[in-house]
Amino acid sequence: MARFQAPKGVSEYFPDRSTYFDYVRSTIIESARVAGYQLMELPAFEDTELFSRGVGESTDVVRKEMYTFEDRGGRSLTLRPEGTAGVMRAVIEHNLDRGQLPVKVYYSGAFFRAERPQAGRYRQFYQVGIEAIGVADPRIDVEVIAVADRAFKELGLSKYQLEITSLGDVLTRQNYLKELRAYIATISLDDETAARAELNPLRLFDDKRAEVKSLMSDAPVLMDFLTEESAKDFAKVQELLRLLGIDFVINPRMVRGLDYYTGTAFEFVHSELGAQTGIGGGGRYDGLMAQLGGQELSGIGFGLGVDRILLACEAEGIALPEGYGLDLFIVPLGTGDAALTIAEELRGRGIHVDLAFGDKALKGAMKSADRSGATYSMVLGADELESGVVALKEMKTGESSSVTLSALAHELIERISNFGEHS
């Protein structure tokens, strides 16, 4: 009988690599939490119209990449291809925009796009995102960028670059689109591309084909059409990034892949990921809430790709920090009941503990300890229980020290704290 396999293009994680995945995701989430962002848990599917209206009919996401199906009631539903539209729907539905502003939330989980699978590009992928809704202020634009930058630095990444641009306000885009459409009328496009440009000419800047890139190389640039107010806001964003010590380059031809972006837009790219260089990005989306039936409120956010960030960490040779995994592995010698009791007591103190099960002999149990990746191990036999003293072995160095069972929790907590905050 043939064995089942995961569907093509699905990213999945299992031990030991899942530990690294969890570390990356948790680090990003913690960076959001320390800035006051609270959890929003979103449904995995929404009404299809939410994405077609919110993300944009001209985008590849809506035109080619959504997993859409009808439920038993004949309703058209779509597996979420991104997070912002769902957040906005939830904010409107639950009247969060009627309370304290800005609404600051984070989310994480699996997202789905029917793309051609390749390295760093999956049909099921994982993101952590944040949204700050209700305040139009360059300072919050920079805060959102800083949340991502802090997470990357905490992870130890160094070979990434922040690219920023401004997509302007409504008047900016009106003036610019006149010039851009006039330019597009002078170049030769195939029917499908021309139809796409008719919906949103900005999409041509996002086309990866060499021939289209060449045709658009002389096209007018949106940043040359910024209104005085838009230019002032963008200058303030740059000033604050410099103040916070966040390096950046201006990319005047950047076009984010979703239609709702306005004003500040940004992307983080990594130099060692081959063709798929982006590890996350976002921007401001003034007007999106009103477009989805809510108030005329501003918003900004990002989506960071956990899969690609993990690949970037691996490309840079970044290891898990000390103390992130197991703290202690217990090897019981005929003392399984006592070992489980001690393990549970230590777990209750926040110490990460595992033990050998199944009455393994000492040699086999010590192999389990080695494979566990625990920082410390200890053998628990009848003699240790009688004396109340165990030998606590540091697995990396092989050094052992005597510790009383009554002081074991205190000793481990103290040692763990020397590695930094316990994960």
Q: What is the residue-wise DSSP string for 336-373?
A: HHHHHHHHHHHHHTT--EEE--S---HHHHHHHHHHHT
Indicate the average pLDDT of the chain.
91
- For residue 254, pLDDT over 50 is answered with yes
Tell me what percent of the residues of the chain surpass a pLDDT of 90: 69
104 three-state secondary structure? strand
pLDDT at 257: 53
Question: Which tokens belong to 326?
Answer: 């197991």
pLDDT category of residue 412 using cuts at 50, 70 and 90 = very high
Let me know if the fold of 17-169+227-315 is the same as that of 328-417: no
pLDDT digits (tens, 9 = 90+) for 333-342: 999 999 999 9
Q: Which residue has the tokens 């949204």?
A: 131
pLDDT at 23: 95
Strand pairing partners for 103? 133
Estimate the share of the chain in helix, then strand, then coil, as percent rounded to the nearest 5.
40, 20, 35
Architecture of domain 328-417: 3-Layer(aba) Sandwich (3.40)
pLDDT category of residue 419 using cuts at 50, 70 and 90 = low
Q: How many CA atoms lie within 13 A of 109 on its CB side?
A: 18
d(CA 396, CA 409): 20
Q: Which of 144-153, 197-206, 383-392 has the lowest mean pLDDT?
A: 197-206
419 three-state secondary structure? coil
- For residue 256, pLDDT over 90 is answered with no
d(CA 24, CA 152): 9
Q: What is the CATH number of domain 17-169+227-315?
A: 3.30.930.10
pLDDT digits (tens, 9 = 90+) for 54-67: 887 667 788 788 99
pLDDT at 387: 97
pLDDT digits (tens, 9 = 90+) for 332-382: 999 999 999 999 999 999 999 999 998 778 888 889 899 888 999 999 999
Q: Which residue has the tokens 């019981």?
A: 332
11 sits in the region (left: phi over 0; alpha: psi -120 to 50; else beta) called: beta
Q: Which residue has the tokens 């912002």?
A: 84
Residue pair 230/168 in contact by the 8 Å Cβ criterion: yes
- For residue 246, pLDDT over 50 is answered with yes
pLDDT category of residue 422 using cuts at 50, 70 and 90 = very low
pLDDT digits (tens, 9 = 90+) for 218-240: 899 889 999 999 999 999 999 99
pLDDT at 139: 98
Strand pairing partners for 10? 124
pLDDT at 261: 77
pLDDT digits (tens, 9 = 90+) for 37-83: 999 999 999 999 999 888 876 677 887 889 999 999 999 999 999 99
Q: Where are the domains of the chain?
A: 17-169+227-315, 328-417
Read off the pLDDT of each residue in 295-310 and give the average, rounded to a whole number: 95
Read off the pLDDT of each residue in 121-145 and give the average, rounded to a whole number: 96
